[in-house]
């Protein structure tokens, strides 16, 4: 069982009574470790099963077939497949492969916006991903309503401001079994997330670890839940009151592992000043940056795929 709290967010999802009590639980978790599980989210198990099955079909394809939707083909939209070792976390290649998705949009000049790349060999993946994005956007808004209430703000504070037109990014990651005798090989190295909120679906194999105040703890899969964590931007907004916590992944299950992180962030053109009561300092003690969330996010993501970024500038 997880050492992290499991919170039933159904009052926030349905608008029923009990929202304030749920918000108090969320606030306590955000102040403690910045990580918690949510249940009562309303995402159908049938959709999750379809998404998982389609993803497994894709990662079973030969490498040259998967490369038909390589990220290089996605251009400035930054969508598509990358191979094992193709993503850098903390400056080191990760032991994972994956696919990048985002909101489905027409081609355009804006980085990290545009059409997704879907494999012709697994046509059901498109429908599952796009339906999942819609559902998870609703869950993200609901959880942010709880975070707003926990901060003494109106529950629509984020929905009508920072996340009125949210930046949504979605990944499907496939982790081959990690070598048990190599302590330096990580599926994903230690890092914090960039934005407001991450909602993670993980399969039954586990591997996620969270650096709490008491040290590293496992965040094992709990059926019917998502792992939720806050990112650097919410840490910034609250002046460090809510914690963006380091985490990492090592797959020692001996099995193939899938995870499905969904990132729910401020609108691309949003300025992100601290909340009214927060000090005018970032989470890392520096003076607040100026500019939009999109500019901030692009500077971060370009470090993960430096070769791809160099091809686009």
Q: Read off the tokens for 302.
A: 């370009």
Give the span between the Cα atoms of 269 and 216, in whole angstroms.
36
38 Cα distance to chain centroid: 14
Q: Which residues contact 243 (CB under 8 A, 6 or more apart)?
A: 30, 31, 32, 33, 34, 230, 235
- Per-residue confidence in pLDDT tens, the chain, 313 aa: 468 999 999 999 999 899 999 999 999 999 999 999 999 999 999 999 999 999 999 999 999 999 999 998 988 888 999 988 666 666 677 788 999 999 999 998 888 899 999 999 999 999 999 999 999 999 999 999 999 999 999 999 999 999 999 999 999 999 888 776 665 666 777 888 988 999 999 999 988 999 998 899 999 999 999 999 999 889 888 888 899 999 998 887 788 999 999 999 999 998 877 676 554 444 444 445 567 888 888 877 776 666 655 555 4
Candidates 230, 224, 297; CA nearest to 48 is 224
pLDDT at site 176:
84
Candidates 128, 130, 82; CA nearest to 103 is 130
pLDDT at site 278:
53
Residue 25 exposed, middle or buried by CB count within 10 Å (0-12, 13-18, 19+): middle
Order of strands, sheet of 167-175, starting from the edge strand that comes earlier in the sequence: 6-8, 35-39, 226-230, 197-202, 257-265, 167-175, 97-102, 80-82
Angle (CA) 277 282 286, round 5°: 130
Give the span between the Cα atoms of 183 and 186, in whole angstroms.
8
Give the span between the Cα atoms of 129 and 246, in whole angstroms.
27
36 with 5: CB under 8 angstroms? Answer: yes
Residue 100 exposed, middle or buried by CB count within 10 Å (0-12, 13-18, 19+): buried
What is the SS3 assignment for 95-153?
CCEEEEEECECCCCCCCCCECCCCCCCCCHHHHHHHHHHHHHHHHHHHHHHHHHHHCCC
pLDDT at site 280:
45
pLDDT at site 219:
95
> How many CA atoms are closer than 13 Å to the CA of 94, on its beta-carbon side?
24
pLDDT at site 281:
46
Residue 292 exposed, middle or buried by CB count within 10 Å (0-12, 13-18, 19+): middle
pLDDT at site 305:
64
pTM over 0.85: yes
């Amino acid at each position: 069982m997880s050492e992290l709290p499991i919170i039933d967010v159904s009052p926030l999802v349905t608008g029923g009574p009990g929202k304030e009590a749920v918000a108090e639980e969320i606030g306590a978790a955000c102040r403690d470790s910045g990580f918690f599980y949510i249940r009562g989210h309303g995402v159908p198990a049938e959709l999750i099963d379809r998404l998982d099955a389609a993803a497994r079909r894709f990662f079973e394809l030969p490498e040259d077939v998967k490369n038909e939707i390589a990220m290089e083909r996605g251009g400035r939209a930054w969508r598509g497949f990358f191979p094992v070792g193709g993503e850098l976390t903390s400056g080191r290649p990760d032991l994972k492969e994956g696919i990048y998705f985002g909101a489905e949009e027409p081609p355009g000049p804006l980085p990290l916006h545009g059409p997704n790349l879907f494999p012709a060999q697994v046509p059901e993946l498109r429908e599952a991903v796009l339906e999942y994005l819609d559902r998870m956007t609703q869950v993200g808004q609901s959880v942010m309503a709880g975070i707003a209430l926990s901060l003494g703000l109106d529950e629509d504070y984020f929905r009508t401001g920072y996340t009125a037109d949210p930046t949504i990014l979605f990944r499907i990651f496939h982790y081959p079994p990690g070598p048990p005798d190599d302590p330096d090989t990580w599926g994903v190295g230690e890092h914090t997330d960039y934005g407001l909120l991450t909602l993670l679906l993980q399969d039954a194999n586990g591997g996620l670890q969270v650096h709490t105040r008491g040290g590293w703890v496992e965040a094992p899969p709990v059926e019917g839940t998502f792992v939720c964590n806050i990112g650097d931007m919410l840490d910034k907004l609250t002046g460090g009151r809510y914690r963006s916590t380091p985490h990492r992944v090592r797959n020692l299950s001996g099995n193939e592992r899938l995870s499905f992180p969904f990132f729910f962030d401020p609108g691309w053109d949003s300025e992100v000043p601290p909340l009214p009561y927060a000090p005018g300092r970032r989470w890392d003690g520096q003076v607040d940056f100026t500019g939009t969330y999109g500019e901030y996010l692009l500077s971060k993501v370009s470090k993960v795929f430096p070769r791809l970024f160099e091809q686009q500038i």
